[in-house]
Structure 1
Amino acid sequence: MIAIGLEGSANKLGVGVILHPAKGKGEPQILSNIRHTYVSPPGEGFLPKDTAIHHRSHVATLVKRALEEAGIKLADVDCICYTKGPGMYAPLQSVAIAARTLSQLWSVPLVGVNHCVGHIEMGRAITGASNPVVLYVSGGNTQVIAYTSQRYRIFGEALDIAVGNCLDRFARTLHIPNDPAPGYNIEQLAKSGRVLLDLPYAVKGMDVSFSGILARVDELAAQMYAGTLKGVTPADLCFSLQETVFAMLVEITERAMAHVGSNQVLIVGGVGCNERVQEMMGLMARERGGSVYATDERFCIDNGIMIAHAGLLAYETGFTTSLEESTCTQRFRTDEVHVAWRDD
C-alpha cells in the first residue's frame, strides 16, 4: 500500500510518500520526503495567518514534486493522510483543505493523523526501538509517553509552554536568526558558553514548567545588554538555558523509565535533533544499562512522511476519516488515539 502524507501544523509544510509492503515482506520504503519552511525575520515569531498563506502557496507544488520524486501515478495512491492536530489552527486548516480537495479529485480515502503519534511511529520505524519510553519535545509539545494496551499514555508534560517554544522565544530576545531554526542557532551558540547561571528548576512531580525559566533568562539578557551583568555573554545564557531545561527533561524521563521498567528512550520532535539533549539523555540511560534512540533532522523535524506512515498504519486496520469528519483541531491529545495497529 502507498500513502501520501501532508503535514502543516506549524511553520513546516511537509509532503511525503511511503510504501508499506505486504505484512512480513519487508520494511516500509520512503519514496519521497519534501519540506518547505516558512522563516520569519530575526526577533519575530511566525504568525498563524502568515504561515497559513505560506502553506497554501506551496502545497500544490510540493505534492506534485513528491509524486514525481516517488515515481508513482495517482492510481497508485491508496490513501491521503493529513495532520488533524494538534497545532496552529490556520496552518492546519490550510493543509486539511488541500487534503480534502485531493481526496475528492482523486477519489482516494482520507486519514486524519495525530501529529504526536506520527512522530512516535516514525521514530520507532527509523530507529527500531521496540517499546521505549518516548520523550516528545517540539515547539508546541513536551510529553513523556509510554505505550500500553493500544494507547500512548502520557506520564508527564509541560504545564505551560513547550520546551521548543521556550527556546524559540529566547532566540527572539537575543535577535538570533530564525534560519534554519531558532532552536538550532541557540544550540550552536550554547556550545561556546562557559558560565552556568542559576535558573529556576521547575519539576512538579512528573510535569515541568518553562515560563518562569524563560522570564528569568530574559531578565538576565536585559541586564547583560544594559551592562549591569558583567562577564556574561549570549552564549553563556544559551548554555545555561539548555542545561537547565534538558536536565528537567532527563529527570522526568528517568522516572518514567523506572516506573514502566524500560531501558530504552526514544527522543522525537524538532528539539530531539539537539545533540546536547541526546548526550544528556544518553548519560542517564547508560547508567541504567539502557540506550537512547533518536533520528536526524529528516525525521525529527515536522515532515510529511511521518504523517503518511502513521496514517497508513491506521488505514491498514480499516480506519478512514469521512469527509464530514475531516476537520482539524489545535488540541488533539496523544492518549486520545486508539493504536489499533499495535498489540504488543
Structure 2
Amino acid sequence: MVIAIGFEGSANKLGIGIVKDGEILSNCRRTYITPPGEGFLPRETAEHHQQNIHEVLQEALDQSGITPQEIDVVCYTKGPGMGAPLTVCAIVARTCALLWNKPILGVNHCIGHIEMGRLITKANNPTVLYVSGGNTQIIAYSRQRYRIFGETLDIAVGNCLDRFARVLKLSNAPSPGYNIEQMAKKGKKYLHLPYCVKGMDVSLSGILSYMEDRIDELLKDYTPEDLCYSLQETVFAMLVEITERAMAHCASDEVLIVGGVGCNERLQEMMGVMCSERGANIFATDERFCIDNGVMIAHAGALAHAAGTRMPLEHATVTQRYRTDDVLVTWRDD
C-alpha cells in the first residue's frame, strides 16, 4: 500500500492531490486567470503559485484526512513545463520531503496524464492522444516506454486555441479553450482553413497566423462563432487523422484522450465517430482529471515508487523539456 502526495504546477494550474493505492483522497486546485486578451507569463504564474501553495497544501491534507507521517512518497512535476512555476512546486516538494523525512520522486507531466487516464477509465493498453496547452502528442506503449508516434512540429493545440481566444478577446475564465468550445457550438458557416498533417505530425502555427493576419476581413463575412467552429473542426480533424494512423500501425482498438483539451466534447465526439467505424473504444475523463491536477502526479509517482524507482534528493530538479519517451516505465511489463 502506497500513500503519495503530488504537487503539480507546470503552467497556470496549481494542484496538490493525495492518493492511496489508486483511491483519490484529495484533489485541490487553483487556477491563475489573466485578463481577456492576455496569456500567462512565467514570473506572474510562479508568483500565483507561491501565494497559494501553502493554502492548497493544507486543504489537500485536511480533505484527505492523512497526516504527513502516513505519506510514503512526495511526488512533484519534474517537467515539461514553464521553468519558474515548476520550480515553485519542486522547492515546496523538496522542503516537505526533508521536513517529513520522506523519499521524493520527480514525475513526467505527460505520464501523469496517461496513468491518471488509465486509472479513471480502466483503459488497458490504449493509443493515447495527449492534447494540452503546451503539448500535442500521439503515444503508444512499447517495451517499458511510452513511445511518441507523432507530435506537433510547432505549437500545441491548446496554445493554438488559447491564442485565437486572445485575438477575439474572449475571457480566460474558466479557460479560453472552454469559451472557444462554447462559441463553436453556435457556429454555422465553415471557413476552409490550412490543413497541415505531415506524416504522423501536425503543424498548427500556420492555421493560427492565417486567422490572426486576416481577422478583420474574416469578421466581415463570418461571425466569431463561425471562426471558432471552423478552427475546432479543422484542428480536431487533423488530430483524429494521426490518431487513426497510429491505431492502424499498432493494431490498437482503444483510444485514450488526455490533457486539458481532452475535455472538449467536440473532440471526443469526432474521435468517437472514428473509433466506432474501426470497432474501437474511446476513453476520456472530465475536467477533474484531464485538466492539470496534483492527483495524476501522486498516482504516477506512487506506481513508480511501488515498482522500486528512487530519486536522490540532489536529482530533485526540474527539466522544462522532459520528453515522454525519456522515462523508463518500471511499473509495466506487458
Common fold by TM > 0.5 = yes
- Worse-superposed segment, 210-219 or 109-118: 210-219
Counterpart of 1:36?
30
Structure 1 segments unaligned to the other structure (5+ residues): 21-27
CA distance in structure 1 between the partners assigned to 2:313 and 2:69 by the alignment: 20
The percentage of counterpart residues that share the same residue type is: 65
Q: Which amino acid aligns with 1:282?
A: G
Partner secondary structure for residue 180 of structure 2: helix
Counterpart of 1:243?
233
Match of 1:108 among 99, 102, 106: 102
Summarize deviations over 1:80-136 as a string: whole Å, max 9, x none: 000000000010011101101111111111010000000000000000000110000
Counterpart of 1:47?
41
Assess if the C-alpha contact under 8 Å between 1:199 and 1:213 holds in 2: yes
Displacement of 1:322 in angstroms is 1.4
Counterpart of 2:217?
223
Summarize deviations over 1:124-154 as a string: whole Å, max 9, x none: 0000000110000000000000001000000
Q: How does 1:256-271 map to 2 (within 5 A)?
A: 256-271=246-261
Displacement of 1:244 in angstroms is 0.3
Counterpart of 1:61?
55
Summarize deviations over 1:264-298 as a string: whole Å, max 9, x none: 10000000000000000000000000111000000
Assess if the C-alpha contact under 8 Å between 1:221 and 1:234 holds in 2: no
CA distance in structure 1 between the partners assigned to 2:330 and 2:101 by the alignment: 25
Assess if the C-alpha contact under 8 Å between 2:309 and 2:330 holds in 1: no
Partner secondary structure for residue 172 of structure 2: coil
Q: How does 1:80-91 map to 2 (within 5 A)?
A: 80-91=74-85
1:292 aligns with 2:293: no
Partner secondary structure for residue 211 of structure 2: helix
Assess if the C-alpha contact under 8 Å between 2:79 and 2:320 holds in 1: yes
CA distance in structure 2 between the partners assigned to 1:130 and 1:341 by the alignment: 14
Counterpart of 2:69?
75
Displacement of 1:217 in angstroms is 1.5
CA distance in structure 1 between the partners assigned to 2:281 and 2:330 by the alignment: 27
CA RMSD of aligned residues (A): 0.7
Aligned length: 333
Summarize deviations over 1:211-269 as a string: whole Å, max 9, x none: 000011223322145xxx32x10000000000000000000000000000001100000
CA distance in structure 2 between the partners assigned to 1:96 and 1:236 by the alignment: 42
Q: Which amino acid aligns with 2:5?
A: I
Displacement of 1:201 in angstroms is 0.3
Match of 1:272 among 262, 271, 293: 262
Displacement of 1:189 in angstroms is 0.2
Task: Give me the TM-score of the superposition, normalised by structure 2.
Answer: 0.99
1:326 aligns with 2:316: yes
Q: Which amino acid aligns with 2:228?
A: C
CA distance in structure 2 between the partners assigned to 1:341 and 1:170 by the alignment: 40
1:211 aligns with 2:205: yes
1:165 aligns with 2:165: no
Structure 2 segments unaligned to the other structure (5+ residues): none
Task: Give me the TM-score of the superposition, normalised by structure 1.
Answer: 0.96
